[in-house]
Amino acid sequence: MPLTIRAPTIDELSSLSDLCFRSKAVWGYDEAFMEACRGELSFEPRDLALTSIAVAEHNGKPIGVAQVKAVDGTADLLKLFVEPSALRSGTGKALLVWATDVAKKLGATQLTIDADPDAAPFYRRMGAYDVGEAPSGSVPGRMLPKLAMNLCPADLKVQTGTKLPISDVRYSVATGGKTDRTARPVAFDPTRTSADSVDQQL
């Protein structure tokens, strides 16, 4: 059964927050660190109106989630998490494709990412480049790699591997206040090299 990327409901925000927490914990952080990050890893009802959120679902079960906010031509990837049992299935790559597509539809020309240090290599492989550091929103004094992706109108170039080919991803996601059930993913060009809330996306 193909992966479906859809908008979340308000009733599942708590379970999606738990998914983010489980995904973050894969990096081996201690309990105190994880508790410090809990707020930043959680979704609030207002996020449904203020940001774009996508749930990756397989066989009726949410296995990943991503969140994007666009302001003045720049979009921020606020969250990207995959259920630990679904890592390396291509789910994160599919969500990143969704994020770049939504960012473009919202008028952004760049996607910025405050990445966990262990997650940054994934984004670099996908075409992101380093632009500096950003302070953690959860742990005072902790600095995170700040990355950026230049968005372009090129055809989709990110592939999700044989386990989950991009042709097997169905998109039915709310964008700009409406649900777009026909849009296909349009992504960044990964050949271009001109948060503690962003994590497991392999």
- Identify the CATH number of the domain in which residue 57 sits: 3.40.630.30
Per-residue confidence of the chain (202 residues) as pLDDT tens digits? 589 999 999 999 999 999 999 999 999 999 999 999 999 999 999 999 999 999 999 999 999 999 999 988 889 999 999 999 988 889 999 999 999 999 999 999 999 999 999 999 999 999 999 999 999 999 999 999 999 999 975 433 443 333 444 445 665 554 444 444 433 333 333 333 224 455 543 4
The b/e string for 165-179 (b: 16+ C-beta within 10 A; e otherwise) is ebeebebebbbeeee
Q: Is residue 188 part of a domain?
A: no
DSSP string, 14-29: HHHHHHHHHHHHTT--
* Counts for the chain of helices (H) and strands (E), in that order: 5, 9
Q: Is residue 194 part of a domain?
A: no
User: By residue range, what is the domain housing residue 158?
Assistant: 3-180
Q: Is residue 160 part of a domain?
A: yes
Q: Is residue 198 part of a domain?
A: no
Q: Are 143 and 136 in contact (CB under 8 A)?
A: yes
Q: What is the pTM of this model?
A: 0.78
Backbone angles phi, psi at 9, to 5 degrees: -105, 160
Q: Is residue 202 part of a domain?
A: no
Structurally, the chain folds into a number of domains equal to 1
Q: Is residue 197 part of a domain?
A: no
134-165 per-position pLDDT tens digit: 999 999 999 999 999 999 754 334 433 334 44
188 burial type by CB count under 10 A (0-12 exposed, 13-18 middle, 19+ buried): buried
Residue of 95, 88, 30, 90 whose CA lies nearest to 65: 95
- Residue 21: CA atoms inside 13 Å, Cβ hemisphere, count? 18
Q: Is residue 99 part of a domain?
A: yes
CA–CA dist 174, 103 (Å, integer): 12
Q: Is residue 186 part of a domain?
A: no
